[in-house]
Structure 1
Amino acid sequence: MVHMRIDNRLIHGQVTVAWASHLSADHMIVCNDKVAQDPIQKMMLPAAARGVKTSVLSVADTLAYCASPEAEQERIFIIAKFPSDALALLDGGLKPQEINVGNQAPIPGTKFTMVTRTCAVTPEDAAIYREIVKRGYELTGRMVPADPKNDFIELIAKKGL
């Protein structure tokens, strides 16, 4: 597995055009238990991937697939919908080379702070991001590969989270 991006918009232009090609990914996996149970999203997300093999899987199914012999032959790009999905994957033994926070659109009814123009973070999210870093991972915040790698923990700390 090459890269993990935390992005609650899932598959969109930045992901398919910029990230998938930058990473030379030949398989994108959207990982979230609720999305994996939604037949419409399971149909629409691969269509938005513009020809890159795409799977929409639960956390457990993502872990099982990534442990399979087939996965060893692929350059996998995982898009975790929420930081909690990313942490569950790490807890399950996944070892991405890099973890990036992309878009986190505000969720109505939550107490969020806009950390960047496109990243809403709740206090609960901030705790999860810190836990990811405690596991030994650098957590960067950037929209596209050409952007500088910002330390996401520094960004949330500057906002008081």
Structure 2
Amino acid sequence: MAGAHVRLDNRLIHGQVTVAWTRRLGVRRLVVCNDEVAADELQRMLLPQAARGLPTDVLSVEATLAVGAGADTMIIAKHPEDVFRLVEGGLRPEVVNVGNVAPRPGAAYTMVARSVAVTADEADAYRKLAAAGVPLVTQLLPYDKPTDFVPLLDRKGL
């Protein structure tokens, strides 16, 4: 399964995604991919409303793999572990954009970019993705220059 745009953003659906990224990439469908979010009835109801009319599914990792995603789809994952499970299940993204990852409450983290906090466990998940041949970049907005992500982990000793 290849072709879908994959973004890591623990804010999930917000203006940067629904306006800037969807226009830039020609996205016509959003898939929020995270088991906990998919199990939350309120989030399943509210997230599609935040998508400004774009068809939106809120799915578990397993369900995301089952429905598939094409080149006009953006998969928005909440955590790097979600993306790693997608890759283990057969998803082959051209690139994963680590867009915005706010610190998890109570977790020890390191800021590796202005909008990306990384815990030791998350660093392991990012490195597993890279080892699986998945290119990782960080790019907050479409007009920002993408930055290779793994060297940022290296610089911070993660």
TM-score band, normalised by shorter chain: over 0.9
Cα deviation for residue 2 of structure 1 reads 2.5
What TM-score, normalized to structure 2? 0.95
Distance 1:18 1:132 in 2: 26
The answer on 1:133 being equivalent to 2:130 is yes
Distance 1:51 1:97 in 2: 26
The answer on 1:78 being equivalent to 2:75 is yes
Distance 2:21 2:111 in 1: 23
Aligned to 2:41: 39
Aligned residue for 2:19, secondary structure, equals helix
Aligned to 2:113: 116
Distance 1:64 1:115 in 2: 33
Matched to 1:4, the amino acid is V
Distance 2:91 2:148 in 1: 21
Matched to 1:41, the amino acid is Q
Distance 1:38 1:20 in 2: 25
Distance 1:19 1:5 in 2: 10
What TM-score, normalized to structure 1? 0.93
Out of 7, 12, 22, the position equivalent to 2:9 is 7
Question: Which string of whole-angstrom CA distances, capped at 9 and with x for unpartnered residues, describes residues 109-149 of structure 1?
Answer: 11101111211101111111111111112100010111111
Cα deviation for residue 4 of structure 1 reads 0.3
Q: Which runs of 5+ in 1 are unaligned?
A: none
1:49-88 residue pairs with structure 2 within 5 A? Answer: 49-66=51-68, 71=69, 75-88=72-85
Aligned residue for 1:120, secondary structure, equals strand
Aligned residue for 1:101, secondary structure, equals strand
Question: Which string of whole-angstrom CA distances, capped at 9 and with x for unpartnered residues, describes residues 14-39 of structure 1?
Answer: 11111111111111100000000111
Q: Equivalent pairs: percent with the same residue?
A: 51
Cα deviation for residue 42 of structure 1 reads 0.7
The answer on 1:146 being equivalent to 2:143 is yes
- Assess if the C-alpha contact under 8 Å between 2:12 and 2:78 holds in 1: yes
| Structure 1 residue ranges (4+ consecutive) displaced by more than 4 angstroms after TM superposition | none
Between Structure 1 and Structure 2, how many residues are aligned? Answer: 156
Cα deviation for residue 98 of structure 1 reads 2.0
Aligned to 1:28: 30
Distance 1:102 1:119 in 2: 7
